[in-house]
Amino acid sequence: MRRIRSSAARAFLGAAAVLGLLLGAFLTLPGAAQAAGSQPCDIYAAAGTPCVAAHSTTRALFSSYNGPLYQVTRASNGGTADIGVLAAGGYANAAQQDSFCADTTCRISKVYDQTSRHNDLYPGPAGTAGGVDRGADAAELAVTAGGHKVYGIWISPGVGYRSHGAASGAAVNGQPEGAYMVASGTHVGSDCCFDYGNAESTPADTGNGHMDAVSIATTCYFAPCNGSGPWVEADMENGMFQGDNGSNTANAGNKSAFVTAVLKNNGQTTYALKGGNSQSGGLSTWWNGGLPTRGGYRPMHQEGGIILGTGGDNSNRNMGTWFEGVMVAGYPTDAAENAVQANVVSVGYSGETNVPNGPQGTITGPGNQCVDVAADDTGGNGSAVQLWNCQSYAEDQFWTHHTNGSLSTIGRCLDINGNGTAAGTQVELWDCNGVGGQVWQQRSDGSLFNPQSGRCLDSPSGATGNGTRLQIWDCNGSAAQKFTLH
Q: Catalytic residue numbers?
A: 237, 313
Q: What one-character DSSP code corresponds to residue 127?
A: B
429: amino acid identity, one letter: L
Counting beta carbons within 10 angstroms of the beta carbon of residue 82, is it exposed (0 to 12), middle (13 to 18) or buried (19 or more)? middle
Rounded to 5 degrees, what angle do the CA atoms 115, 116, 117 make? Answer: 90
Answer whether 258's CB lies under 8 Å from 184's CB.
yes
Distances (CA, A) of 182 to 126, 231, 389: 26, 13, 30
Whole-angstrom distance, CA of residue 160 vs CA of residue 75: 18
Peptide bond into 193 cis (omega under 30): yes
Distances (CA, A) of 353 to 125, 181, 187, 257, 486: 27, 15, 7, 6, 19
* Cβ neighbours of residue 78 closer than 8 Å, sequence gap 6 or more: none
Q: How many residues does the chain have?
A: 486
How far is C-alpha 182 from the geometric centre of its chain's CA atoms? 10
Rg of the chain in Å (alpha carbons)? 24
Distances (CA, A) of 364 to 175, 361, 392, 393, 462: 52, 10, 13, 15, 13
User: Which among 50, 33, 42 is positioned nearest to 92, based on CA atoms?
Assistant: 33
